[in-house]
Structure 1
Amino acid sequence: MTLNILFAAASERWDDYEQPLRRALSDAGLGDAILSTQLPAAEVDYIVYAPNSDLRDFTPYTRTKAVLNLWAGVEDIVTNPTLTQPLARMVDDGLTRGMVEWVTGHTLRHHLNTDLHVLHQDGIWRNDDVPPLACDRPVTILGLGALGSACAQALCTLGFPVTGWSRSQKSIEGITCLSGDAGLRTALSTAQIVILLLPRTPQTESILNAETLSLMAPGAMILNPGRGTLIDDAALLAALDTGHVAHATLDTFRTEPLPADHPYWAHPRVTVTPHIASTTRPASAARVIVENIRRGEAGEPFLHLVDRALGY
């Protein structure tokens, strides 16, 4: 029986992914598989999927063994009642490296107060603002999944004391791992830099709000490369206006692209980056997708399956 793989994502992504997927299939000994954007639903074995696809009803895909998401986030698809097939999220080394680089870069930028010198090239010799060493700058990461854990370990290697918080208790060498409501309060109150890498779920909605922001030390800084829904925007803007939060570097937002009239654009204590912290790279993502297809055909367990009850 022919192996049929449906590519279901925004049409412009087909040109990016077709050749990397074909190469990965060939390398895995699956070069005879049919890969297409158009296949009869009842004959599809695997769906390579992105939530911006037009595909919403999975009911006709009765032969499909797995839906393989191209994105790390699955919040836009995980609650679809027609999706009864196994769903795997994207856990990709390229995705992880990109996130580690963005988080490390902006953490160091805030730690060293680089903006002070970049934005003030005015002939004034400002040498009275010397940053502490990394060992004296505690960092908290909310979310200790694949991305959060990798970022925590990278920052720990640079000498930052890192506290991580997650819904369920984790154990990571060199990282202070906390969980639960009391753990969240401790994690926020001890941090000078807070990094958000939680998934979007009902439980993480506005996890940074007026109450939790007030727990942070005056002058703390926030990085959000996770999900825009993790922050109560009005509460953050209020905290920025008073200086309680010294700066927020934000990569994800409730509405994307961020509307041109949104207050974040003009706020002097906000840096907006356009959801570029970590992007799926076709070459490495294709290898992850095809490895799961290979496993499915070999009768091995799929990798990175989504827990529908948790939502990620």
Structure 2
Amino acid sequence: MSITIFSQGRNTSRWESALKERRPGLEVYVYPNTAPPADQVEFALAWNHPPGVFTSFPNLKCIASTGAGVDHILRDPELPEGIQITRIVDEDLTQDMATFVTAQVLNHVRGLHRYKEAQRSHTWKQHSYKRTAEVVIGVMGMGVLGAHTAQQLSKLGFKVNGWSRSPKLIEGIGAYAGTEELTAFLEKANILICLLPLTKDTANILNKDTFSKLPKGAYIINVARGEHVVDEDLIDMLDNGHLSGASLDVFREEPLPEEHPFWEHPLIHVTPHIASITNPASAVSQILENYDRMRHGESLINVVSKTKGY
């Protein structure tokens, strides 16, 4: 019995410990440092794996993402056919995302960042703010993370609309779907939150055309993938005053290069991809459940559609 971890640029020790603690006797390998014979690798745990690496394992049956996203797997042009791909669906991950987004929304609505700046200059000045009932929030992507985030914001008194590939009917949340309803969705959003999966249809969706359809002064929060944003378009729309600011947790290149203009832009709040980080101790149960299901020939949980990309 073994699981092989494929991950570039990440410390895998917490996953190793969680797997061994929950399943004593399970052999856990970390490629390329350790690995069983190629024909014995059946279950892979992956994040940002080396492209093409899976072609070396003829009996591989499942690739399990260590996070909610799977674009890092699906972008591999040499991904073997017939292998099931799964993702993490975890309550901790979901709640962490909702909490982070809520914090960014409230910081913007109440203008809390202004007072930190005022404190540095010993300036005592009160600023006006909007109340929750005056703000319309648009959530792009109504999967597990998006739906829960939308519901949490709605409970705080915000008017919340959701936009997705197909209609998602959630009590208290306005429902918009498809390209034909995107403009109507955008025109109402004072705050736009991106929680879309990254697919060929959603890449670069946060562009000048999208931003121009938002109300003047709209605020952008991207916690999905950096490839959703056209960086130059965002800067242009901030500089011309159409957008009031942006909170970005994900980027096209991570870590964000030192010379990138996002670092110094006064209207952009940068965080280092920390909105929602998988907790191996919490998520390991579903990894092991799928491992057992694979070994017994049973249907897996949280399987990804390669066609849809999520």
- Residue number among 62, 71, 80 corresponding to 1:66 in the alignment: 62
Q: Secondary structure at the match of 1:306?
A: coil
Measured in 1, the distance between the counterparts of 2:174 and 2:242 equals 25
Measured in 2, the distance between the counterparts of 1:212 and 1:14 equals 38
Measured in 1, the distance between the counterparts of 2:267 and 2:279 equals 31
1:1-312 to structure 2, matched below 5 A, reads 3-10=1-8, 13-25=11-23, 31-37=24-30, 38-51=35-48, 53-54=49-50, 56-80=52-76, 81-84=78-81, 85-121=83-119, 122-127=121-126, 129-312=127-310
Measured in 2, the distance between the counterparts of 1:16 and 1:116 equals 38
Superposed displacement of residue 60, structure 1: 4.0
Measured in 2, the distance between the counterparts of 1:195 and 1:254 equals 17
Q: Deviations over 1:255-292 (max 9, x none)?
A: 11111111111111111111111112221122221122
Measured in 2, the distance between the counterparts of 1:306 and 1:220 equals 33
- Structure 1 runs of 4+ off > 4 angstroms? none
Is the contact made by 1:209 and 1:231 (CA closer than 8 Å) also made in structure 2? yes
Superposed displacement of residue 220, structure 1: 0.9
Measured in 2, the distance between the counterparts of 1:193 and 1:12 equals 33
Residues 183 and 108 of structure 1: CA distance in aligned 2, closer, same or farther (over 3 Å): same
Is the contact made by 2:140 and 2:192 (CA closer than 8 Å) also made in structure 1? yes
Q: Deviations over 1:48-105 (max 9, x none)?
A: 1222x34733234333331111122222321434333101022222222221121011
Superposed displacement of residue 11, structure 1: 7.5
Superposed displacement of residue 165, structure 1: 0.5
Partner letter of residue 72 of structure 1?
A: A
Measured in 1, the distance between the counterparts of 2:266 and 2:272 equals 17
Q: Secondary structure at the match of 2:74?
A: coil
Measured in 2, the distance between the counterparts of 1:213 and 1:130 equals 25
Is the contact made by 1:57 and 1:83 (CA closer than 8 Å) also made in structure 2? no
Higher RCO (CA < 8 A, seq sep 6+): 1
The TM-score normalised by the length of structure 2 is 0.91
Is the contact made by 1:8 and 1:55 (CA closer than 8 Å) also made in structure 2? no
Partner letter of residue 246 of structure 1?
A: S
Q: Secondary structure at the match of 2:171?
A: coil
Alignment RMSD = 1.9
Is the contact made by 2:118 and 2:124 (CA closer than 8 Å) also made in structure 1? no
Measured in 2, the distance between the counterparts of 1:77 and 1:156 equals 33
The TM-score normalised by the length of structure 1 is 0.91
Residues 268 and 14 of structure 1: CA distance in aligned 2, closer, same or farther (over 3 Å): closer
Measured in 1, the distance between the counterparts of 2:294 and 2:265 equals 49
Measured in 1, the distance between the counterparts of 2:116 and 2:305 equals 45
Q: Deviations over 1:123-182 (max 9, x none)?
A: 44423x332221221100111111111111111111111101111221112111211123
Is the contact made by 1:155 and 1:162 (CA closer than 8 Å) also made in structure 2? yes
Q: After the TM superposition, which of the residue ranges 104-113 and 176-185 deviates more from structure 2?
A: 176-185
Partner letter of residue 241 of structure 2?
A: G
Q: Secondary structure at the match of 1:265?
A: coil
Partner letter of residue 47 of structure 2?
A: A
Measured in 2, the distance between the counterparts of 1:159 and 1:175 equals 12
Runs of 5+ unmatched residues, structure 1: 26-30
Measured in 1, the distance between the counterparts of 2:291 and 2:211 equals 44
Measured in 1, the distance between the counterparts of 2:46 and 2:204 equals 28
Runs of 5+ unmatched residues, structure 2: none
Q: Secondary structure at the match of 1:104?
A: helix
User: In the comparison of the two structures, how many residue pairs are matched?
Assistant: 303
Q: Percent identity?
A: 36
Partner letter of residue 196 of structure 1?
A: C
Measured in 2, the distance between the counterparts of 1:11 and 1:182 equals 40
Measured in 2, the distance between the counterparts of 1:55 and 1:166 equals 30
